[in-house]
Amino acid sequence: MASDRRPGFTLPPGSCDTHVHIWGPFDRFPLAEGAPYTPPERTKHDLRALHRRLGIERAVIVQTTVYKADNRAMLDAIADDPARYRGVALVDETFGDAEYRALHEGGVRGVRFGFLKHLGGVPDLALLRRTADRIAEMGWHLVLHLDAESLLAFEELLRGLRVTVVVDHMGRVPAPQGTHHPAFRLLLDLLERPNWWVKVSGAERISAEGPPFRDAVPFARRLIEAAPDRTLWGTDWPHPNVRWEPDEADLVDLLPEFGDATALRRVLVDNPARLYGFP
C-alpha cells in the first residue's frame, strides 16, 4: 500500500524489522524459472524508504521462493550496510562449504523452509534435517514458515529439532480459531524449549477483521508472555499473497497493544540484536 503516513508510536532506538523481502531490480536479479507467484518489483531502495518512514534502524531480509536458492538480491542489499542488515537464505542440495561461507560472510544467519501448499508444499525433509545439522555448527538458525495444519501434521519433526528454530508469523493460526486452537497450544509448548523462537509478525495474515488487525493482538501478547526473550517482530513488507495489504504504519501502531515498553524493547531491539549479532 502506497502511504506516506508515519506511525504514531515511536519505535525505540535500534529497532529491527526481522521479516522483509526484496524483489529486483528484475534486470539484475530476475525471478527464478517456475516461481510460484510473480511479485511487483520492490528493491533495496524501496526498503530503505519504508524504514525511514517508520523509524526502523535494522532489518533482516528473508529470501522468498520466487528466487529459490539464488540469494544474490538479498546479499546485494546487505552489502550496502552490513552493520544494519542480516539475511535468511534459501538453500538446496548443491550448497557446500564454499556456498555457506559466502553466505555467512555476506551477513546471512539463517535458512528458511516453508510448508505452505500455495508456496510449494512440504519441503524435502531429509534436506531440512541435513541443513539443520549443518547450520547448527555455524551458530545459525532455522526459520520455518508453517500454518496451523502443518504445525500439527509435523509435530514429531518439530519436537526433534535441536538447532535454534524461529517460527514465522505466529504460526499462522487464523484469529477466529482463538489462542486455544491445538496448533497454537503446540507452538506455546515448543516455546517452552530454549531453542525455539517466534515472530509476532503477520497480523494481517491471521486477521479476520482486517485493518488495523486488532484481532491478532491476543496471539502476539500470549507469545511474548510465553517467550519474552525469544520473540521477534517484522512488517513482512512487501506482503506477498495477502488478503489485505496493510499500511505498515498501522502495524507499528499495533505494537503498544502487544506489550509494555520493557517487553517491546526486548522484542524490537534486544532479541534481534542477540540472535543476529547486531552491534
pLDDT tens per residue, range 77-111: 999 999 999 999 999 999 999 999 999 999 999 99
Count of domains for the chain: 1
The parent domain of residue 73 ranges over: 16-276
Domain CATH code at residue 260: 3.20.20.140
What would the pLDDT profile of 172-198 be if each residue is shown by its tens digit?
999 999 999 999 999 999 999 999 999
Alpha-carbon gap, residue 64 to 41, rounded angstroms: 13
Please list the ranges in the chain whose pLDDT falls under 70.
1-2
Interacting residues of 38 by C-beta distance below 8 A, sequence separation 6+? 31, 66
Read off the C-alpha cell for 161.
Answer: 529439532
> 498501522: which residue's cell?
250
In a domain, residue 4? The reply is no
Q: What is the pLDDT of residue 80?
A: 98
In a domain, residue 184? The reply is yes
To the question of pTM greater than 0.85 for the whole model, the response is yes
Active-site residue 76, yes or no? no
Read off the C-alpha cell for 119.
Answer: 508456496
In a domain, residue 72? The reply is yes
In a domain, residue 3? The reply is no
Q: What is the pLDDT of residue 222?
A: 98
Read off the C-alpha cell for 43.
Answer: 528493491
Q: Which residue is catalytic, options 147, 236, 247, 250? A: 236
The answer to whether the peptide bond before residue 82 is cis (omega within 30 degrees of 0) is no
In a domain, residue 243? The reply is yes
